[in-house]
Amino acid sequence: MSTLFSPFKLRDLTLPNRIVIAPMCQYSAEDGRATEWHMIHLGNMALSGAAMLVIEATAVEAIGRITPGDLGLYNDATEAALKPVLAAIRKHSNIAVAMQIAHAGRKASSHAPWDGGQQVPLDKGGWVAQAPSAIPQKPGELAPQEIDVAGLKRIRDAFVATAKRAKRLGIDALEIHGAHGYLLHEFLSPISNQRTDNYGGSLENRIRFPLEVFDAVRAAFPAHKPVGVRVSASDWVEGGWDIEQTIVFANELKKRGVDWMDVSSGGVSPQQKITLGPGYQVPFAEAVKAATGLPTIAVGLITDAQQAEDIVASGKADLVAIARGILYDPRWPWHAAAHLGGQVQAPPQYWRSQPSTQKALFGETTFGGR
């Protein structure tokens, strides 16, 4: 039996396979509100046969958006806009729907990637970002405002409010975004966090605010539903955040009941030097799993079915997250199941697409009609 197509349990949520659709920013919201694009995009992903769909990084407050087009869940309008999208998914798919909740920190107020991705000037509709320290992401950019104690409380409360909105929407799981150079990663990394108070300096201090956010979100979200954390295991910069510190952080999260660690890397500094290659981040997930015993998700250039199978079958990670690969091939799990002898869930409208050589791909299916 294929390990990739075996079930995996996270609290009361049982996933039918080990394939996760990674959160992928679409930069297509309007004032934080989901649009027709989200209906099409997320609906398409929901029919993929993956076990869990993680909605893109969803801002907990408006100034925490990476771009003006970022999805948000921070007021009644953003909550209402997601309702029909989720209703359509629930009607036609059994996929578990998670949401990555996030704050962009100093990387906020940027153009969408297809518009260059650079910081938006204040006179062009941009805003002053907020961060652990008043250090810009890139030389020449407008420096962010250092977050004071009142600001920390506001942001922590914003994460809680978003978690409560996600609960009302019936979201199955949450992932707190602590990676890719955004706010919580900025607190973790000594590159971006040069505070002199209780939230900066030592490792104990730098992990303090992300742990407070986790505690607050975990308390606000139903106890039977899982909450995971995404981390960058390395800044890929000498003297920055690294795998050893990641393991310390993960062990602290374990004490607090974290349900998974989604292990990525990079994003906090343009000086990063990343060695790319197939599955290049898998060793980070493997190290976190070995040191903590926590369920881990491996990400990064996982494109081949046998590669994904080998990762989970060898115990390097418990799940794999597919991003660009599933945008290119929205039926990636179907094709992986055909290759590995697994089964996927598919809507009955698509059952007739099952190849004659793969009669068990969708399980037992029957066709009537004339």
| Per-residue model confidence as pLDDT tens digits over 266-294 | 999 999 999 889 999 999 999 999 999 99
Active site residue ranges: 182
Is the model more confident about 357 or about 313? Answer: 313
pLDDT value for 364 = 63
Poorest-confidence range of 12-26, 180-194, 254-268, 343-357?
343-357
Contact call for residues 208 and 156 (beta carbons, < 8 A): no
What was the pLDDT predicted at 355? 82
* CB of 16 closer than 8 Å to CB of 53: no
Angle at 145 between CA 142 and CA 150, to 5 degrees: 165
Residue closest to 118 by CA, chosen among 126, 60, 268, 131: 126
Q: Give the pLDDT mean for 244-257.
A: 98
Q: Interior CA angle at 143 toward 32 and 71, to 5°?
A: 10
Q: pLDDT at position 107, please?
A: 98
Residue 266: φ, ψ to 5°: 75, 180
Whether 208 has a pLDDT exceeding 90, the answer reads yes
Q: Kindly list the structural domains of the chain, giving each domain's residue range(s) and its CATH number in brackets, ordered by start.
A: 8-353 (3.20.20.70)
pLDDT digits (tens, 9 = 90+) for 92-139: 999 999 999 999 999 999 999 999 999 999 999 999 999 999 999 999
Is 365's pLDDT higher than 90?
no
pTM: 0.96
Q: CA-to-CA distance for 187 and 203, rounded, in angstroms?
A: 10
Q: What integer pLDDT is reported at residue 366 of this predicted model?
A: 57
pLDDT band at 370 (very low <50, low <70, confident <90, very high): low
Helix, coil or strand: residue 142 = coil
Place 360 in a pLDDT band, splitting at 50, 70 and 90.
Answer: confident
Q: What span, in angstroms and rounded, lies between the C-alpha atoms of 323 and 341?
A: 23
Distance CA 369, CA 335 (A): 27
pLDDT band with cut points at 50, 70 and 90 for residue 326: very high
* pLDDT surpassing 90 at residue 67: yes
Beta partners for residue 209, in sequence order: none
Q: Which two tokens stand for residue 184?
A: 């919580």
Single-letter residue type at 24: M
